[in-house]
A and B are shown apart, each in its own frame.
Chain A
């Protein structure tokens, strides 16, 4: 049973445009959400997070939106740059457990075209 879903295996966006990556979750206990960027054979790099008490968090070119009622979050990257080409993982956790680990989606491969 997949608790975190990223339904788009890949996404192609032109340089300079907005990239929107989507993520859905099913477990109502999740209250903290994170996005990671990953290159092949490297560890995931933390990008941005959001707590369930917020609906938006912004950090430079990256903005994460959370819709709790729909159990949906999205990552917006604007403007998209060639270096953004990577696999993006959405992850979720239950922060009340102290240290429960993260549940990851399957990832979306973002390709930024020049």
Chain B
């Protein structure tokens, strides 16, 4: 099983809304990631959780708040977003240890539109 499941697939939210993106993996991976991808651009790293602890925050604005409730789940809480935050948000996981520790598997993404 190399599946990373993201919900919802699509999300439209207003600038005053609060919403959450969810991600789940059952591969026993100990590292989980949030990436953001704009059209015709490569994925850009936002956050890294390693063994359920936030290890990397790539200077992401505080209106994005990650949470890792356990080793299988990763959430991204959204509040007071701007239209320019509209993008495809990708969750990924990797073993986090061993010779292939950074080999990441991605979910299908959440297409977020901020209106």
Interface residues of A (CB under 8 A from B): 32, 34, 36, 41-46, 49, 51, 89, 93-95, 98-107
Contacts and interface: CB of A to CB of B under 8 A. Distances in A.
Contact of A43 (B50, B102, B107): B107
A70 B101 CA distance: 24
29 contacts: A32-B103, A34-B104, A43-B6, A43-B90, A43-B109, A44-B90, A45-B106, A46-B104, A46-B105, A49-B100, A89-B42, A93-B102, A98-B31, A98-B50, A99-B48, A99-B55, A99-B56, A99-B94, A99-B102, A100-B48, A101-B56, A102-B43, A102-B45, A102-B102, A104-B42, A104-B43, A104-B44, A105-B42, A106-B42
Given A34-B104, A101-B45, 11 more contacts: A34-B102, A41-B109, A43-B107, A93-B102, A98-B101, A100-B102, A101-B35, A101-B48, A102-B104, A103-B45, A104-B43
Interface residues of B, number: 35
A45 B90 CA distance: 12
A67 to B, nearest CB: 20
B111 interface: yes
Given A95-B99, A99-B50, A102-B45, A41 B105 contact: no
A106 B40 CA distance: 8
